[in-house]
């Protein structure tokens, strides 16, 4: 099981360092892999605070070029120089708010894997697409951009459940994960309003290999509770 905490645009370097030092003292289950995904400005502080632990630090995005005239972007070699272990790619907020497409997500994923970073690639349908019965078609289209890789994980995050308090039922999540696993054999995370009170039931589904956690990863107690809920039964 893998639990990844996406902090989005929260926690500057001082707060990130404080959180990570507190996370070091939490008794996290050894059978669960844990990563945190701070904003760019907090990556170095997080790497330093978690040095010597098994907790990984991921970025929230990464460009496909190593360097160049790409204002506001960060490359895989830059992340690796900081000691960053991997990165999210294609989060729904990147797709919905910043114009990411299946094509640009694919370029980012390929470049990061080639550079040796671990990648959590995000896919998921909007509320409108689900209402039209297009969920599985959307997932097939998005997943077609990827190829199996030992460092690739896919996160299914229904866009309608991101930050809304809505959550896919365990059966809905299971069905979506089954669709994706028919197309590509890599570990699968569920993301979309994962909380301590629904984490265990979601992760008990056979096709779900962990969780991509948003708001509930910002507090130590709730994040730790979700990590403990991932212990295989």
What is the rounded average pLDDT for all residues in the chain? 94
Question: Rounded to an integer, what distance in angstroms lies between the CA atom of residue 29 and that of residue 6?
Answer: 19
Residue environment code for 193-213, b if the CB has 16+ CB neighbours within 10 A, otherwise e:
bbbbebbbebbebebbbbbbb
Question: Rounded to an integer, what distance in angstroms lies between the CA atom of residue 169 and that of residue 57?
Answer: 29
How confident is the model at residue 69, as a pLDDT?
A: 98
How confident is the model at residue 22, as a pLDDT?
A: 97
> Strand 118-123 to strand 86-89: parallel, antiparallel, or no bridges (unpaired)?
parallel
Tell me which residue of 24, 79, 43 sits closest to 223, measured CA to CA.
24
User: Which SS3 state, helix, strand or coil, does residue 80 take?
Assistant: helix
Look-up of token digits 């570990």? 187
From the candidates 93, 100, 125, 157, which is the catalytic residue? 157
How confident is the model at residue 219, as a pLDDT?
A: 97
Question: Rounded to an integer, what distance in angstroms lies between the CA atom of residue 3 and that of residue 161?
Answer: 18
And the tokens for 207?
């096709």
69 φ/ψ angles, rounded to the nearest 5 degrees: -85, 75
Residue 218, judged by CB atoms within 10 A of its CB (0-12, 13-18, 19+), counts as middle
Which residue segment(s) compose the domain that 25 sits in?
2-229
And the tokens for 178?
């089954």
Query: Which tens digit of pLDDT belongs to each residue from 121-140?
Result: 999 998 888 888 888 899 99
- CATH number for the domain that contains residue 196: 3.20.20.70
How confident is the model at residue 212, as a pLDDT?
A: 97
How confident is the model at residue 127, as a pLDDT?
A: 83
From the candidates 63, 91, 118, 177, which is the catalytic residue? 91
Look-up of token digits 């000691």? 83
Question: Rounded to an integer, what distance in angstroms lies between the CA atom of residue 94 and that of residue 60?
Answer: 10
Number of domains within the chain: 1
How confident is the model at residue 130, as a pLDDT?
A: 84
Task: List per-block mean pLDDT (blocks of 10 residues) for the chain, which spans 233 residues.
Answer: 97 98 95 97 98 97 98 98 97 93 96 98 89 89 94 92 75 91 95 92 94 96 96 80
Say whether 157 is catalytic.
Answer: yes
**Cα-based torsion angle of the residue sequence 196, 201, 206, 209 in order, rounded to the nearest 10 degrees:** -10
pTM of full prediction above 0.85: yes
Say whether 118 is catalytic.
Answer: no
Largest CA distance in the chain: 50
């Amino acid at each position: 099981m893998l639990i990844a905490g996406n902090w989005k645009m929260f926690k500057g370097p001082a707060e990130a360092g404080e959180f990570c030092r507190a996370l070091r003292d939490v008794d996290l289950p050894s059978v669960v892999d844990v990563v945190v995904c701070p904003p760019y400005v907090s990556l170095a502080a997080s790497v330093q605070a978690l040095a010597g632990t098994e907790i990984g630090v991921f970025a929230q995005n990464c460009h496909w070029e190593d360097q160049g005239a790409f204002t506001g972007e960060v490359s895989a070699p830059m992340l690796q120089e900081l000691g960053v272990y991997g990165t999210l790619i294609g989060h729904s907020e990147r797709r919905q708010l910043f114009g990411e497409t299946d094509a640009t997500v694919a370029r980012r994923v390929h470049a990061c894997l080639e550079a040796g970073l671990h990648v959590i690639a995000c896919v998921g349908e909007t509320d409108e697409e689900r209402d039209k019965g297009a969920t599985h078609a959307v997932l097939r289209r998005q997943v077609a951009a990827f190829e199996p890789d030992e460092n690739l994980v896919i996160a299914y995050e229904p866009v309608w459940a991101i930050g809304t308090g809505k959550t896919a039922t365990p059966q809905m999540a299971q069905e979506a994960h089954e669709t994706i696993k028919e197309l590509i054999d890599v570990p699968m995370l569920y993301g979309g309003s994962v909380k301590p009170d629904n984490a265990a039931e979601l992760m008990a589904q056979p096709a779900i290999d962990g969780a991509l956690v948003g708001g509930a990863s910002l507090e130590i107690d709730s994040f730790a509770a979700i990590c403990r809920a991932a212990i295989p039964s």
